[in-house]
Amino acid sequence: MNAYILMKMNDQLPMDASLIVVAKKPEPGFTKTRLCPPFTPEAAAEFYRCLMRDTLELAARVQGADFTLAFTPPPALEYFRHLAPNGFQLMPQKGADLGERLANALAHHLELGYRKAVIMNSDGPTLPLAYLEEAFVALDHSDVTLGMGHDGGYYLIGVKQHHPQLFHDIAWSTADVISQTLAACLRLQLKVHQLPEWYDVDVATDLEKLRRDLAQNPSSAPYTYAFLQQLDKL
Protein backbone atom coordinates (compact mmCIF):
# COMPACT_ATOMS: atom_id res chain seq x y z
CA MET A 1 0.00 0.00 0.00
CA ASN A 2 1.35 3.43 -0.94
CA ALA A 3 2.55 5.42 2.06
CA TYR A 4 0.80 8.54 0.84
CA ILE A 5 -2.71 9.45 1.91
CA LEU A 6 -4.36 10.97 -1.13
CA MET A 7 -7.80 12.42 -0.59
CA LYS A 8 -9.46 12.71 -3.99
CA MET A 9 -12.46 14.94 -4.41
CA ASN A 10 -14.07 12.44 -6.78
CA ASP A 11 -13.47 9.06 -8.36
CA GLN A 12 -12.52 10.29 -11.80
CA LEU A 13 -9.78 8.47 -13.65
CA PRO A 14 -6.53 10.46 -13.77
CA MET A 15 -6.36 13.13 -16.44
CA ASP A 16 -3.44 13.86 -18.71
CA ALA A 17 -1.69 16.30 -16.39
CA SER A 18 -1.15 16.90 -12.69
CA LEU A 19 -0.11 20.20 -11.11
CA ILE A 20 1.26 19.92 -7.58
CA VAL A 21 1.77 22.91 -5.28
CA VAL A 22 4.08 22.38 -2.30
CA ALA A 23 3.36 24.32 0.88
CA LYS A 24 4.29 24.43 4.56
CA LYS A 25 2.00 25.51 7.37
CA PRO A 26 2.91 29.06 8.39
CA GLU A 27 4.34 29.38 11.90
CA PRO A 28 5.54 32.67 13.45
CA GLY A 29 9.28 32.56 13.97
CA PHE A 30 9.76 29.76 11.42
CA THR A 31 8.15 31.20 8.28
CA LYS A 32 9.74 33.78 5.95
CA THR A 33 12.30 34.64 8.60
CA ARG A 34 14.46 36.53 6.10
CA LEU A 35 11.62 39.06 5.87
CA CYS A 36 11.88 39.83 9.60
CA PRO A 37 12.36 42.78 9.49
CA PRO A 38 10.50 44.49 7.88
CA PHE A 39 7.78 42.08 9.09
CA THR A 40 7.21 40.83 12.59
CA PRO A 41 7.25 37.01 12.86
CA GLU A 42 3.45 37.01 13.05
CA ALA A 43 3.10 39.25 10.00
CA ALA A 44 5.60 37.12 8.05
CA ALA A 45 3.53 34.00 8.72
CA GLU A 46 0.32 35.73 7.63
CA PHE A 47 2.10 37.12 4.56
CA TYR A 48 3.09 33.60 3.49
CA ARG A 49 -0.47 32.43 4.06
CA CYS A 50 -1.63 35.08 1.59
CA LEU A 51 1.08 34.08 -0.90
CA MET A 52 -0.14 30.50 -0.68
CA ARG A 53 -3.78 31.40 -1.21
CA ASP A 54 -2.96 33.47 -4.27
CA THR A 55 -0.66 30.79 -5.68
CA LEU A 56 -3.35 28.13 -5.27
CA GLU A 57 -5.87 30.35 -7.04
CA LEU A 58 -3.35 30.83 -9.86
CA ALA A 59 -2.73 27.10 -10.17
CA ALA A 60 -6.46 26.38 -10.30
CA ARG A 61 -6.70 28.43 -13.51
CA VAL A 62 -4.62 25.93 -15.50
CA GLN A 63 -6.91 24.13 -17.92
CA GLY A 64 -6.83 20.36 -18.38
CA ALA A 65 -4.96 19.50 -15.18
CA ASP A 66 -5.76 17.91 -11.83
CA PHE A 67 -4.53 19.78 -8.77
CA THR A 68 -2.79 18.62 -5.61
CA LEU A 69 -1.64 20.54 -2.56
CA ALA A 70 1.34 18.67 -1.09
CA PHE A 71 1.62 19.96 2.46
CA THR A 72 3.82 19.69 5.50
CA PRO A 73 3.75 18.86 8.37
CA PRO A 74 1.31 15.93 8.05
CA PRO A 75 -0.73 16.92 11.15
CA ALA A 76 -1.68 20.16 9.35
CA LEU A 77 -4.31 18.35 7.26
CA GLU A 78 -7.26 20.28 8.69
CA TYR A 79 -5.49 23.61 8.24
CA PHE A 80 -4.89 22.92 4.55
CA ARG A 81 -8.31 21.38 4.05
CA HIS A 82 -9.79 24.79 4.86
CA LEU A 83 -7.16 26.70 2.86
CA ALA A 84 -7.23 24.76 -0.42
CA PRO A 85 -9.68 25.81 -3.14
CA ASN A 86 -12.35 23.37 -4.28
CA GLY A 87 -10.99 20.69 -6.56
CA PHE A 88 -7.61 20.30 -4.90
CA GLN A 89 -6.47 16.92 -3.68
CA LEU A 90 -4.53 16.98 -0.40
CA MET A 91 -1.36 14.98 0.14
CA PRO A 92 1.21 15.15 2.95
CA GLN A 93 4.79 15.53 1.80
CA LYS A 94 7.11 12.60 2.42
CA GLY A 95 10.89 12.70 2.55
CA ALA A 96 13.89 13.71 4.62
CA ASP A 97 14.73 16.82 2.59
CA LEU A 98 13.28 19.00 -0.16
CA GLY A 99 14.73 16.81 -2.90
CA GLU A 100 13.11 13.66 -1.54
CA ARG A 101 9.80 15.43 -1.04
CA LEU A 102 9.74 16.74 -4.62
CA ALA A 103 10.83 13.41 -6.08
CA ASN A 104 8.30 11.42 -4.06
CA ALA A 105 5.39 13.68 -4.95
CA LEU A 106 6.18 13.57 -8.67
CA ALA A 107 6.74 9.82 -8.63
CA HIS A 108 3.45 9.24 -6.86
CA HIS A 109 1.46 11.15 -9.45
CA LEU A 110 3.19 9.44 -12.35
CA GLU A 111 2.38 6.09 -10.71
CA LEU A 112 -1.27 7.14 -10.57
CA GLY A 113 -1.18 7.29 -14.37
CA TYR A 114 -0.65 10.96 -15.13
CA ARG A 115 1.31 11.49 -18.34
CA LYS A 116 2.75 14.81 -17.16
CA ALA A 117 3.48 16.01 -13.63
CA VAL A 118 4.57 19.53 -12.69
CA ILE A 119 5.43 20.63 -9.17
CA MET A 120 5.74 24.28 -8.13
CA ASN A 121 6.41 26.48 -5.13
CA SER A 122 3.78 28.43 -3.21
CA ASP A 123 5.41 31.83 -2.74
CA GLY A 124 5.49 33.33 -6.22
CA PRO A 125 1.84 34.22 -6.81
CA THR A 126 2.40 36.76 -9.60
CA LEU A 127 3.88 34.09 -11.88
CA PRO A 128 2.25 34.52 -15.30
CA LEU A 129 -0.34 31.85 -16.02
CA ALA A 130 1.22 31.42 -19.46
CA TYR A 131 4.40 30.06 -17.84
CA LEU A 132 2.43 27.30 -16.09
CA GLU A 133 0.63 26.42 -19.31
CA GLU A 134 3.94 26.36 -21.17
CA ALA A 135 5.37 23.96 -18.57
CA PHE A 136 2.87 21.30 -19.63
CA VAL A 137 2.89 21.99 -23.38
CA ALA A 138 6.68 21.81 -23.48
CA LEU A 139 6.62 18.26 -22.09
CA ASP A 140 5.22 17.15 -25.45
CA HIS A 141 8.68 17.64 -26.93
CA SER A 142 10.97 17.73 -23.87
CA ASP A 143 11.78 15.40 -20.99
CA VAL A 144 11.96 18.09 -18.32
CA THR A 145 10.54 21.59 -17.92
CA LEU A 146 12.37 23.89 -15.53
CA GLY A 147 11.16 27.26 -14.26
CA MET A 148 14.24 29.39 -13.85
CA GLY A 149 14.35 31.22 -10.53
CA HIS A 150 15.92 34.64 -10.15
CA ASP A 151 18.13 33.40 -7.30
CA GLY A 152 19.64 30.25 -8.80
CA GLY A 153 16.81 27.95 -7.73
CA TYR A 154 13.76 26.92 -9.71
CA TYR A 155 10.10 27.75 -9.16
CA LEU A 156 8.84 24.59 -10.83
CA ILE A 157 9.97 21.37 -12.41
CA GLY A 158 7.94 19.13 -14.68
CA VAL A 159 8.56 15.59 -15.89
CA LYS A 160 6.79 12.79 -17.72
CA GLN A 161 8.95 9.97 -16.34
CA HIS A 162 10.41 9.47 -12.89
CA HIS A 163 14.06 10.57 -12.72
CA PRO A 164 15.08 10.47 -9.03
CA GLN A 165 18.65 11.42 -9.95
CA LEU A 166 17.42 14.95 -10.66
CA PHE A 167 16.95 15.41 -6.93
CA HIS A 168 20.12 13.73 -5.64
CA ASP A 169 23.19 15.68 -4.53
CA ILE A 170 21.56 19.07 -5.00
CA ALA A 171 22.56 21.93 -2.68
CA TRP A 172 18.98 22.99 -1.91
CA SER A 173 18.28 26.61 -1.01
CA THR A 174 21.48 27.80 -2.67
CA ALA A 175 22.30 29.57 -5.94
CA ASP A 176 23.61 26.26 -7.35
CA VAL A 177 20.27 24.43 -7.63
CA ILE A 178 19.62 25.20 -11.30
CA SER A 179 23.19 24.55 -12.45
CA GLN A 180 23.34 21.25 -10.57
CA THR A 181 19.93 20.20 -11.89
CA LEU A 182 20.89 21.05 -15.47
CA ALA A 183 24.13 19.07 -15.01
CA ALA A 184 22.07 16.07 -13.85
CA CYS A 185 19.84 16.41 -16.93
CA LEU A 186 22.93 16.45 -19.13
CA ARG A 187 24.29 13.29 -17.51
CA LEU A 188 20.94 11.56 -18.01
CA GLN A 189 20.70 12.85 -21.61
CA LEU A 190 17.36 14.51 -20.90
CA LYS A 191 16.04 17.30 -23.10
CA VAL A 192 15.22 20.36 -20.98
CA HIS A 193 12.83 23.19 -21.77
CA GLN A 194 13.71 26.27 -19.72
CA LEU A 195 10.82 28.55 -18.78
CA PRO A 196 11.37 32.31 -18.40
CA GLU A 197 12.89 33.53 -15.17
CA TRP A 198 10.58 34.52 -12.32
CA TYR A 199 10.87 35.21 -8.61
CA ASP A 200 9.53 33.99 -5.31
CA VAL A 201 9.42 36.25 -2.27
CA ASP A 202 12.13 35.43 0.26
CA VAL A 203 14.03 38.64 1.03
CA ALA A 204 13.40 42.38 1.17
CA THR A 205 14.39 43.01 -2.47
CA ASP A 206 11.86 40.37 -3.58
CA LEU A 207 9.21 42.09 -1.47
CA GLU A 208 9.91 45.42 -3.13
CA LYS A 209 9.60 43.85 -6.58
CA LEU A 210 6.32 42.25 -5.53
CA ARG A 211 5.02 45.61 -4.32
CA ARG A 212 5.88 47.18 -7.68
CA ASP A 213 4.20 44.37 -9.61
CA LEU A 214 1.07 44.54 -7.46
CA ALA A 215 0.88 48.30 -7.85
CA GLN A 216 0.58 47.68 -11.59
CA ASN A 217 -1.75 44.68 -11.31
CA PRO A 218 -3.38 44.14 -7.88
CA SER A 219 -5.61 41.37 -9.23
CA SER A 220 -2.60 39.13 -9.90
CA ALA A 221 -2.40 38.35 -6.16
CA PRO A 222 -5.45 39.85 -4.42
CA TYR A 223 -4.98 38.27 -0.98
CA THR A 224 -1.37 39.40 -0.84
CA TYR A 225 -2.22 42.86 -2.13
CA ALA A 226 -4.95 43.31 0.49
CA PHE A 227 -2.60 42.17 3.25
CA LEU A 228 0.12 44.63 2.24
CA GLN A 229 -2.40 47.44 1.90
CA GLN A 230 -3.73 46.77 5.39
CA LEU A 231 -0.22 46.54 6.80
CA ASP A 232 0.72 49.89 5.27
CA LYS A 233 -2.18 51.56 7.07
CA LEU A 234 -0.98 50.49 10.52
Check whether 108 has a pLDDT greater than 60.
yes
Domains and CATH numbers, the chain: 17-233 (3.90.550.10)
The pLDDT of residue 15 is 61
From residue 110, alpha-carbon distances to 22, 44, 70, 127 in Å are 16, 34, 15, 25
Q: How far apart are CA 60 and CA 117, in angstroms?
A: 15
Confidence of residue 3 (pLDDT cuts 50, 70, 90): very low
The pLDDT of residue 142 is 98
Single pTM value for the model:
0.92
Q: How far apart are CA 102 and CA 118, in angstroms?
A: 10
Confidence of residue 7 (pLDDT cuts 50, 70, 90): very low
Strand ranges of the sheet holding 17-24, from the earlier edge strand across to the other edge? 88-92, 65-72, 17-24, 116-120, 154-159, 144-149, 192-198
Instruction: Give the model confidence (pLDDT) of 59-106 as tens digits.
Output: 999 999 999 999 999 999 999 999 999 999 999 999 999 999 999 999
The pLDDT of residue 10 is 39
Q: How far apart are CA 45 and CA 119, in angstroms?
A: 22
Instruction: Give the model confidence (pLDDT) of 143-198 as tens digits.
Output: 999 999 999 999 999 999 999 999 999 999 999 999 999 999 999 999 999 999 99
140 class by beta-carbon count within 10 Å (0-12 exposed, 13-18 middle, 19+ buried): exposed
Distance of CA 39 to the CA centre of its chain: 23
